[in-house]
Structure 1
Amino acid sequence: MVSIRRAAASDFTEIWPILHDIFSQWNTYVFPPDITVEEAYHIWMETPVAIYVALENAQIVGTYFLKPNQPGLGSHVCNAGYAVSSKARGKGIGQAMCEHSLKEAKTLGFKAMQYNFVVSTNQAAVNLWEKCGFNIVGRLPNAFNHKEIGFVDAYIMYQQLID
């Protein structure tokens, strides 16, 4: 069973291998594959408003963050980023984190959630986000340079959190 809690700075020693594995594959995130530990720490642990970890058997198997998508007059819409360990995929951890993030975003006062850059070839993520209530509201043609395929589209996905 997965549990989700707020992350502590000390959790980054377990978060970093998950991020490094995902970023180095060049197929789902825009971060450079050679990102340094320090750069990843800043992006994942310092910039967001809230960071969470998903645990299975007391080990971190996933993580996500929440942050305002834009400053000022756009700050009521949040953005989130998710990462699941390759060893834990297919166990519902991504869905559990998404559902948790939607509740946490409401608790933090956000009115909507927007994913700015969902790589179109990441069909598992697209399907999951749609299952969790997100809609594709925009397409960015050839916006992502996929390691194996070359330039592919990215989607903007959105969900209101208020009725």
Structure 2
Amino acid sequence: MQIRQFTDADWSQVWPIVRDVVRAADTFTYDPTMTAEQSRATWVEQPPGLTVVAVEGDRVIGTAKMGPNRPGPGAHVSTASFMVASGARGRGVGGSLCRFALDWARQQGYAGMQFNAVAESNHAAVALYRRLGFRVVGTVPGAFAHPTRGRVGLHVMYCPFG
């Protein structure tokens, strides 16, 4: 598996990944009815951010976006999001993308990385992020309407650098 910068030609393979994850409505707070155009505008970062893809040969198996968490006085803290194709889950793609984002953020001089909305029911992601140095710094009770579990909390997670 290789992780490289997203190119416009990748969108035809990235869109089905984003579409499927968003429509499942069980991990991301994005509107499940987002169109391809809306999704692209949300997912593809402009500088100083970066969007990448994880590829095996010519097949995109995952994608990530990263950049400043907030503008202005909050721009010294980074954020990132990750999506993995359903057929590639459980193979370490998400972990590789997260490690890539952490390395990128450190190289860019960010003070840390913050995730604003990790569904507490997304146990695999929460466990991965904890292994990579994140901690839950707060949970908003009932802030995520999970399609089968009802309202669950959204974690704010943070990994300081240095």
Distance 1:104 1:67 in 2: 9
Corresponding residue for residue 34 of structure 1: 33
Given that 2:82 and 2:94 are in contact with CA atoms closer than 8 Å, whether structure 1 keeps it comes out as: yes
Change (3 A) 1:132 1:9: same
Given that 2:45 and 2:66 are in contact with CA atoms closer than 8 Å, whether structure 1 keeps it comes out as: no
SS in 1 for 2:3: strand
1:80 alignment partner AA: A
Distance 1:9 1:160 in 2: 32
Q: Which runs of 5+ in 2 are unaligned?
A: none
Corresponding residue for residue 132 of structure 2: 132
Aligned Cα RMSD in Å? Answer: 1.1
Structure 1 consecutive aligned stretches of length 4 or more whose deviation exceeds 3 Å: none
* Structure-1-length-normalised TM-score: 0.95
Distance 2:6 2:54 in 1: 9
Deviations 1:17-71 (CA, angstroms, capped at 9, x unpaired): 0010100111000111111001000000145710010012331100001121111
Deviations 1:130-159 (CA, angstroms, capped at 9, x unpaired): 011100101011000111111110100000
Corresponding residue for residue 4 of structure 2: 5
Given that 1:118 and 1:126 are in contact with CA atoms closer than 8 Å, whether structure 2 keeps it comes out as: yes
Given that 1:9 and 1:45 are in contact with CA atoms closer than 8 Å, whether structure 2 keeps it comes out as: no
Q: Which runs of 5+ in 1 are unaligned?
A: none
Given that 2:119 and 2:155 are in contact with CA atoms closer than 8 Å, whether structure 1 keeps it comes out as: yes
1:23 alignment partner AA: V
Corresponding residue for residue 94 of structure 2: 94
Distance 1:44 1:123 in 2: 23
How many residues align? The count is 161
Change (3 A) 1:150 1:47: farther
Q: Does 1:120 align with 2:115?
A: no
* Structure-2-length-normalised TM-score: 0.96
Corresponding residue for residue 76 of structure 2: 76
1:69 alignment partner AA: N
1:89 alignment partner AA: R
Distance 2:39 2:14 in 1: 10
2:4 alignment partner AA: R
Corresponding residue for residue 50 of structure 1: 50
